[in-house]
Amino acid sequence: MQAGFKNKRRAHIGILISGRGSNMIALADAVRDEIVANAEVAIVISDKANAAGLIRAQERGIETVVIERGGRPREEHDRQIVAVLRSRNIDLICLAGYMRILSAEFLDAFPGRILNIHPSLLPLFRGLNPQQQALDHRAKVSGCTVHLVDATLDGGPIIAQREVPVHADDTVESLSARILLEEHRLYS
Ligand code: GRF
C-alpha cells in the first residue's frame, strides 16, 4: 500500500433518483464492494417523497433527502439541491432515474461531474420511453449508455455503452428488463 493511501479522502458520490432506484442500489453496492474504489455514496436525493428507492437507500445506511419541486421554478428547486450537495462535499453526481432536466445553474455548479444512465444506445432514442422507441423502430439491437450531462437532452459526451439484443417477440417490459440488467453492470 502506498504511503498516505489510507488517509486519502474518498470521493463523495451523490445520487439523484425519482423512483425505484435500482441503478442507485447497484451503484451503492459497487461502492460497498469496492468495484468503485475509494468512494462513498454520501447522499441520495429524491424529488419524490414516495420514491421506492429511498427506503432501499436507508436500509443500506445511506442518508436520504427529499427535495420536492413543489410548484417552484426549476432554478429555485435546483438551487436547493445544489446547496445540499455542496454541504456534503459531493464530488460526483450520478443521475439514476432522475426524471428532471437540470437547470444551467445546476450544470454550472458541477461542470463535467454529472453522469446519467439512459436505456438506449445514444444518440439513438433520446428522451422518454427509449425502449418503446427501439421497438417502434424495429431495432435489432439496443442497450444502455452512461454519459456526461450537459444542456442537451441525453446528448452529453458518451462514457460507456452496452448492447443487448432486441427479440422479435419483445414487449417493452421484457426489453426494459434485459436492458436494466446491463445498466446495473455498466454504471459502476
Ligand atoms: C433506468 O432505465 C434508467 O436508465 C432511466 O430510468 C430508469 C430508472 O430505473 N434513466 P431505476 O430507478 O434505476 O430502477
User: 77-134, pLDDT tens digit by residue?
Assistant: 999 999 999 999 999 999 999 999 999 999 999 999 999 999 999 999 999 999 999 9
Ligand 1 binding pocket mutation candidate from 27, 124, 179, 180 (most atoms within 8 A of CB) = 180
Integer Cα distance of 44 and 21 in angstroms: 10
> Both ends of the chain: CA-CA distance in Å?
24
Q: Is 25 near ligand 1, meaning CB less than 6 Å away?
A: no
* Section 14-26 average pLDDT: 98
| CA distances in angstroms from 168 to 60, 132, 163, listed in the order given | 39, 13, 16
Select from 17, 20, 23 the residue to mutate for testing ligand 1; criterion: most ligand atoms less than 8 Å from CB: 23
What pLDDT does 6 receive? Answer: 59
Given a cut of 50, whether residue 68 has pLDDT beyond it is yes
Q: Which of residues 179 and 5 earns the better pLDDT score?
A: 179
Pairing of strands 39-46, 158-165: unpaired
Average pLDDT of 151-175? Answer: 97
According to the model, what pLDDT value does residue 167 have?
98
Q: Which of 4-18, 32-46, 62-76 has the lowest mean pLDDT?
A: 4-18
Mean pLDDT on 8-28 = 97
Name the residue among 78, 79, 84, 77 with its Cα closest to residue 63.
84
In which residue are the cell numbers 459502476 written? 188
Q: Among the atoms of ligand 1, which is closest to the Cα of residue 117? A: 4
Q: Whose CA is nearest to atom 12 of ligand 1?
A: 21
E strand spans, 8-138: 11-17, 39-46, 64-66, 92-95, 114-118
The pLDDT, as a whole number, for residue 8 is 80
- Report whether residue 97 contacts ligand 1, using a CB cutoff of 6 Å: yes
Query: What is the position in ligand 1's atom list of the atom closest to the CA of 119?
Result: 4
Q: What is the pLDDT of residues 44-63, one digit of tens each?
A: 999 999 999 999 999 999 99
The answer on pLDDT for 2 being more than 80 is no
Ligand 1 atom nearest residue 116's Cα? 10
Taking the C-alpha atoms of residue 113 and residue 181, their distance in angstroms, rounded to an integer, is: 24
pLDDT at 1 over 50: no
d(CA 1, ligand 1 centre) in Å: 37
Mean pLDDT of 2-7: 53
What's the whole-number average pLDDT of the chain?
96
Instruction: Identify whether the C-beta of residue 7 lies closer than 8 Å to the C-beta of residue 40.
Output: no
Average pLDDT over residues 153-181: 98
Please tell me the distance between residue 125's alpha carbon and the centre of ligand 1 in angstroms.
15
Return the residue whose CA atom lies nearest to atom 8 of ligand 1. Answer: 97
